[in-house]
Amino acid sequence: MIARPPRVSRAPRRAPRARRSFPFAAALLAAWPALALPAPAAAKTVEVTLTAREMPTVIDNKGATQASWTFDGKVPGPLVRVTLGDTVRITLVNDAANKNAHSIDFHAASADLLGPLAPVKPGETKTFRFEAGHPGVFLYHCGAPNMAQHVARGMFGVILVDPKKYTGDYPKPDREYVLVQSELYPNPDDLEPIMAGRWSNVVFNGTILKYDPVHDPNAARTLVARPGELVRIYFANAGPSEFSAFHAIGGIWERAYPSGNPANVLRGVQTLTVGPGDAAAFDLVAPGPGSNALVTHSLKAALTGAIAVIVFDPDADPAMGVWKGDPDAILVR
């Protein structure tokens, strides 16, 4: 016979443990939709149409004009502003009344030089698209030959690609302004001085001393802000040839961002070199009332027209330099 294994005595079963109540956790879960962080803004498609127009534009505060080649009749061309990740759909129209082929090169884009960036004949239109894959301040300009002449005659502008959020290293500004440095040539039909870099004036936003009533009593305005406000200057150098040593006389850049990229933060900067075809962003704060002069510290260039005065006044115009969707509020015409 096979012996039975010894009987094992078992402990009596415990009564089931009462479930614990977690009222706070329950309330938290119930409120989850309200407490969840906001989702990032969805990428969108931004439609931009630019028309190449060959026409006179004003180059000084007295109203003198010069035969220019432009985007939409403006120097600089219209400001384009998008957000990182957006798709930008560009339509370039070359006005049928023009005599020259024109093109457009967005420095914020990666595109085929012989495809979307190729010249468009008068009366023709071209459309292409790109994704804004890097935040920053970028130039756009005509790339048709002779490129130096097309830029010298005014075919350039700026596209701002905003990051998806502000950070401690890249805080939200109280005011914003766009300045584009470029060169004027006495006879824009003459290629030889353009290729030699023999300009007559270096200017901001297409006009000699546009924002400088100190050196030109005909200047109708300055840039403005209140003391203590964070002012961000988006600065681009269209060239076509002169480097800029961007400096704030009477101030110091709290932060500077080469190419305008928030990751490229520099602190306590006195002067930053911005080459032709490049750009940067600059943060400025004035501790009290007064003025600064924004200049290229290449003084032979500054004193011919590349000076912009910013006045810090407690009663500064509350709308000037404040972005509410109007590009001309920050690229002051």
Q: Look up the pTM and report it.
A: 0.87
Kindly list the structural domains of the chain, giving each domain's residue range(s) and its CATH number in brackets, ordered by start. 45-162 (2.60.40.420), 175-329 (2.60.40.420)
- What is the token pair recorded at 248? 């704030």
Q: Comparing C-alpha atoms, which of 244, 240, 280 is closest to residue 264?
A: 280
CA–CA gap between residue 318 and residue 225 (Å, rounded): 8
Tell me which H or E stretch contains 318: none
What number of CA atoms fall less than 13 Å from residue 155's CA on the CB side? 29
Q: Which has the minimum average pLDDT: 31-45, 53-67, 105-119? A: 31-45
Cβ within 8 Å of residue 173, ≥6 positions away: 230, 231, 232, 283
| Dihedral, 71, 74, 77, 80 alpha carbons, nearest 10 | -110
pLDDT of residue 172: 98
What rounded mean pLDDT belongs to the chain? 90
Q: Comparing C-alpha atoms, which of 316, 267, 273 is closest to residue 296?
A: 273
CA–CA gap between residue 300 and residue 198 (Å, rounded): 12
Q: Which has the minimum average pLDDT: 40-54, 95-109, 136-150? A: 40-54
CA–CA gap between residue 205 and residue 332 (Å, rounded): 8
pLDDT in tens, 259-301: 999 999 999 999 999 999 999 999 999 999 999 999 999 999 9
Residue bearing the bigger pLDDT, 4 or 317: 317
The residue type at 23: P
Widest pairwise Cα distance in the chain: 125
pLDDT of residue 112: 75
**Residue 13 pLDDT > 70:** no
CA–CA gap between residue 222 and residue 213 (Å, rounded): 7
pLDDT in tens, 64-76: 999 999 999 999 9
pLDDT band at 43, cuts 50/70/90? confident
Tell me which H or E stretch contains 108: none
Report the residue count for the chain.
Answer: 333
- What is the token pair recorded at 298? 């290449």
CA–CA gap between residue 144 and residue 318 (Å, rounded): 41
- What is the token pair recorded at 165? 């959020």
> Exposed/middle/buried for 173, CB within 10 Å: 0-12, 13-18, 19+?
buried
**Residue 4 pLDDT > 50:** no
Show the CA angle centred on residue 45, arms to residues 178 and 86, nearest 5°: 60
**Residue 42 pLDDT > 80:** no
Share of the chain above pLDDT 70, in %: 87
pLDDT band at 3, cuts 50/70/90? very low
**Residue 331 pLDDT > 50:** yes
* Cα–Cα separations (whole angstroms), residue 332 to 9, 76, 222: 92, 10, 9
- What is the token pair recorded at 124? 């023709």
pLDDT of residue 6: 46
C-beta of residue 57 within 8 angstroms of C-beta of residue 69: no
- What is the token pair recorded at 22? 């977690």
pLDDT of residue 117: 79
